């Protein structure tokens, strides 16, 4: 089956999930394009070549970039700009992001910054890319100061989630992506948690209908959130898009202090347990919901403990892009599917919550 979800922002686009969905790529590229740049990681060279074979009437340039977060830096971005300039890319031409979340983040920013914005299409090839990075229009790169500090909001023309590619992923990469799916369950759709709890062993089979359903539900949550608050402004005093950062303040700090040697989903898993501890110690959630975080994430094979020195993490968290002035902000829960913001918590409370993560 193929599922089509519409992201109903000011410039609506579809996310298509299923098998054989790449047949829709030519329509998304459009009739005005003469040149296409396919930004891809080294492991996807064959798939990039296959795309070039499908777009034979166009001048297709393959831009190989490093794996993972190593792609998201100014040097790689400049190299992509150089290729587009030498090829004569115009406003009617197209950038395609083929790969995981880091690749689509970079490709989107290449498209956003070239000629102040050209058309782009996302073809995510990981669970994480499908449920998180490829949808929502956030694009960007990292700097030495922190993750995703330079970027732009630039929505894709469409997103094609080809489920066949998931069979090639290592199990740890699948688990990493499922952390973001579980996040959507905690902040918005508890049926996601119920599905995981009912059959945690089935999530290891990427060809199972359960994995397809979980991915679809995760994308549906993100599509609904960004449709209501594309640029994370928190309309009407609501949490808005900031809810999607659940677990990310500590998670991004863990990624940074580990020089991105930890997978994103693994870091976010620990980050979600941390904010659940914060919420519990602030009297917002009960012990059962706190323990549910640990049990669901452990059932997915994700980490829930951490031994990083707290002061090291605190310094890294102060560089988080959600920080306002000197005030740290954490997305927490007031109850299941009721996200809220905890602003400026006392350092002692943060230290206690982190201490509870020790094995």
Percent of the chain with pLDDT over 70: 99
Query: Is 287 labelled a binding residue?
Result: no
Please give the biggest Cα pair distance in the chain: 62
Rounded distance, CA 190 to CA 169, Å? 26
125 labelled binding-site residue: yes
105 assigned ligand-binding residue = yes
**pLDDT of the residue at 320:** 73
Q: What is the predicted pLDDT for the residue at 319? A: 81
Average pLDDT, stretch 249-268?
Answer: 95
pLDDT > 90 fraction of the chain, expressed in percent and rounded: 92
Give pTM, 2 decimals: 0.94
Distance CA 202, CA 208 (A): 7
pLDDT per position as a tens digit, 296-339: 999 999 999 999 999 999 999 988 766 766 789 999 999 999 99
Residues whose CB is less than 8 angstroms from the CB of residue 235 and which lie 6 or more positions away in sequence, other chains included: 228, 229
Query: Is 185 labelled a binding residue?
Result: no
Please give the pLDDT value at position 122.
Answer: 98
Q: pLDDT tens-digit profile of 134-192?
A: 999 999 999 988 888 899 999 999 999 999 999 999 999 999 999 999 999 999 999 99
Residues 272 and 306 sit within 8 Å (Cβ to Cβ): no
| In the predicted structure, residue 75 carries a pLDDT above the cut 70 | yes
pLDDT band at 347; cut points 50, 70, 90: very high
69 marked ligand binding residue: yes
Q: 304 a known binding residue? A: no
If one counts every other C-beta atom within 10 angstroms of the C-beta of residue 256, the result is: 24
Q: Which fold has domain 3-168?
A: Rossmann fold (3.40.50)
Q: Does 264 carry a binding-site annotation?
A: yes
Helix (H) or strand (E) holding 281: helix 264-281
Res 321: pLDDT: 65
CA 143, CA 238: separation in Å to the nearest integer? Answer: 30
231 is in an annotated binding site: no
Q: Is 284 helix (H, G, I), strand (E, B) or coil?
A: coil
Strands 146-153 and 138-143 turn out to be: antiparallel
72 is in an annotated binding site: yes
- Contact (CB, 8 A) for 155 and 134: no
The residue extents of the domains of the chain are 3-168, 171-355
Give Cα separations from 324 to 151, 156, 292, 308, 330 (angstroms): 18, 29, 30, 24, 11
Helix and strand numbers, DSSP H then E, in the chain: 13, 11
* Average per-residue pLDDT for the chain: 95
- The reply, when asked if residue 31 is annotated as ligand binding, is no
CATH architecture of the domain with range 171-355: Up-down Bundle (1.20)
- Residue ranges of E strands in 41-136: 59-64, 94-99, 119-124
Q: Which residues contact 251 (CB under 8 A, 6 or more apart)?
A: 264, 267, 268, 269, 270, 271, 272
DSSP string, 166-225: GGGS-HHHHHHHHHHHHHHHHHT-THHHHHHHH-GGGGG-TTSHHHHHHHHHHHHHHHHH
147 annotated ligand binder: yes
Strand partners, 153: 138
191 in a labelled binding site: no
**51-67 pLDDT per residue, tens:** 999 999 999 999 999 99
- Rounded mean pLDDT of 201-228? 95
Structure tokens of 82? Answer: 């150089």
When pLDDT is averaged across residues 246-255 and rounded to a whole number, the result is 96
Of the candidates 61, 223, 44, 49, the one whose C-alpha atom is nearest the C-alpha of residue 131 is 223
Place of tokens 């100014």: 74
Ligand-binding site membership of 101 (annotated) = yes
Contact 306, 262 (CB under 8 A): no
Q: Is 308 annotated as a binding residue?
A: no
User: What's the mean pLDDT in 240-269?
Assistant: 95
As a dihedral over the C-alpha atoms of residue 301, residue 302, residue 308, residue 310, rounded to 10 degrees, the angle is -140
């Amino acid at each position: 089956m193929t599922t089509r979800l519409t992201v109903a922002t000011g410039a609506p686009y579809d996310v298509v999930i299923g098998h054989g969905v790449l047949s829709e790529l030519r329509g998304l590229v459009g009739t005005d394009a003469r040149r296409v740049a396919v930004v891809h990681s080294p492991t996807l060279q064959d798939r990039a070549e296959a795309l070039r074979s499908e777009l034979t009437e166009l001048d297709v340039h393959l831009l190989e970039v490093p794996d993972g977060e190593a792609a998201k830096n100014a040097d790689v971005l400049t190299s992509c700009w150089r290729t587009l300039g030498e090829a004569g890319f115009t406003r009617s031409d197209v950038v395609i992001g083929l790969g995981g979340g880091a690749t689509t983040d970079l490709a989107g920013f290449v498209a956003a910054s070239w000629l102040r914005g050209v058309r782009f299409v996302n073809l995510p090839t990981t669970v994480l890319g499908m449920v998180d990075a490829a949808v929502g229009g956030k694009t960007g790169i990292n700097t030495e100061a922190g993750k995703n500090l330079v970027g732009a909001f630039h929505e894709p023309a469409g997103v094609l989630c080809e489920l066949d590619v998931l069979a090639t992923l290592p199990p740890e990469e699948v688990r990493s992506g499922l952390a973001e799916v579980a996040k959507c369950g905690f902040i918005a759709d508890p049926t996601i948690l119920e599905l995981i709890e009912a059959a945690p062993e089935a999530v290891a089979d990427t060809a199972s209908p359960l994995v397809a359903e979980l991915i679809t539900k995760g994308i549906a949550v993100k599509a609904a959130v960004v449709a209501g608050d594309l640029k994370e402004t928190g309309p009407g005093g609501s949490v808005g898009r900031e809810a999607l950062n659940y677990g990310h303040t500590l998670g991004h700090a863990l990624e940074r202090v580990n020089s991105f040697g930890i997978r994103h989903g693994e870091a976010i898993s620990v980050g979600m347990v941390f904010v659940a501890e914060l919420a519990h110690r602030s009297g917002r959630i009960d012990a059962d919901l706190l323990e549910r975080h640990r049990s669901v994430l452990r059932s997915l094979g994700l980490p829930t403990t951490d031994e990083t020195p707290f002061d090291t993490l605190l310094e890294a968290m102060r560089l988080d892009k959600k920080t306002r002035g000197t005030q740290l902000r954490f997305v927490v829960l007031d109850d299941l599917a009721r996200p809220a913001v905890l602003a400026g918590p006392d350092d002692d409370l943060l230290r206690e919550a982190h201490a509870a993560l020790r094995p």
